[in-house]
Amino acid sequence: SNCKSKSISCISSSFVHHFITTSTSGGSERTYYNNIIMEATKQKTCVYLDYNGTTPVYPPVLEAMLPYLTDHFGNPSSSHHFGSEPKAAVNKARRSLLSLIQSVPIADLSSIMFTGCGTESNNVAIRLALLSSTHKVNKDGLLHVVTTNIEHPAITQCLNSYISGGLTPKITVTEVPVDEFGVVSSSDVIDAIQENTALVTIMTANNEVGSLQPVSEIAKICRQKHVLFHTDAAQAVGKVDLRGLADETAGADMVTIVGHKFGAPKGIAALYIRPNCLDENGRVNPEQGGSVLLMGGGQEGGRRGGTENVPYIAGIGRAADMLFEQQGDKSGLEANAMHMQKMRSRLLERITTGLEESTGKTDISRVNGPLNADQRLPNTLSIGLKGVQSGRLLADIGEVVACSAGSACHSSSGPTMSYSAILKAMKVPPEFAVGTLRLSVGPNTSLEDVDFAADVIVKEATRQLNT
């Protein structure tokens, strides 16, 4: 990435002022815009608005990792002197992650299993649920899973492998549809449960539009119905308060946590597994014979073979701790959420106002996802631009504004254009869906960043609309 300052963008105020105030007209606009790209590239400037894709490694996190890459390099499974510090770091990180999702963290640290990524955590959660619930198979030998139609591919593709019989036990799946705001009804989810339902898996927050799902309510009812409940909380950690999500009495049975979504490095994640949940209500814990995925030296309490990645584990633990450290009269989590909400609002206002002024129209943009701030992530803005193709727009601005599209256009026009399955599930009008951008801010995003990015987006969108 070309972005290298504390706030991810390294744009000088004079450069921003020059871009915003210089007037263009007629055929010179394209030449002018190309010059902006060239100048930005020379200055190595790039505003980063893709925090839902990944975050930078925050400096305190890197600092916490370094000792385990140098002095404390030992294997945490070793019984000698060099194993003690790494082992302590691993256990400290387990406690830190439990503090993210429980009102009162439990003493059983084995409930946190470290993994290599969110995909692994999700795949393991599904496999554990299915293998422990074979007593529920119906007369056709099938188990059943309930999910939504907006889940991450780490869930949907895994489930598809069991549907096809590529993996066993074979299953059927009910995908409960979300509403136009990307939110599933808890009653619809519960109504979809059958006698042979082994698992309900619902994401905590959608990665594209930021919609928050009623997972705590669903978890409570699933517990009453003796059905395992898993939630992929990858996008929610670090943005909303999840304490209580995995409380022992009525919380989720399994929770996926992903480090690189909240300031830790890529390559480290975790799966919370409620103690004894795989042994209750007729279930038989498939881990009694060892790991269900990576067989080896018996690490992670026998759940996952392979020497623990201590530096990265220390990093994800430090990232978790940062969320509850005080910043004035607020926790880090509260301060970050307030700041990100402010940046998101500014970004939306600047884009919509800019488009209205440049086009003279008020129906160019459409926000996808919940309008109520309490029902969405504070940092995520999914905005559809009618008459614009997001793929082309991103190709033109990608050197100065880093963001993502809500569509994948395969041609400049016609029926071959496609867009996100999430937007289709929400029934977003195609004219807005193909022009959708996902803009996600972070704790270090500045007003200067969002103003510059909004003006770049408005200028390029207006150019497309005028050609």
Residues recognised as catalytic: 409
Residue located via tokens 């395969």: 410
Residue located via tokens 């929770």: 255
Exposed/middle/buried for residue 414 (C-beta within 10 Å: 0-12, 13-18, 19+)? exposed
Question: DSSP alpha helices (H): ranges in 294-446?
Answer: 310-322, 332-359, 390-397, 421-425, 430-433
Tokens of 12: 């000088």
Answer yes or no: are the C-beta atoms of 286 and 239 closer than 8 Å: no
Q: Which of 132, 444, 362, 101 is nearest to 240 (CA)?
A: 101
DSSP class of residue 408? E
Pairwise CA distance, residues 272 & 121, whole Å: 9
CA 403 to chain centre: 14
The maximal CA–CA distance of the chain, rounded, in angstroms, is: 74
Pairwise CA distance, residues 338 & 340, whole Å: 6
Helix axes 81-101, 310-322, angle to 10 degrees: 40
User: 3-state DSSP call for residue 149?
Assistant: coil
For residue 370, cis peptide bond before it (omega within 30 degrees of 0): no
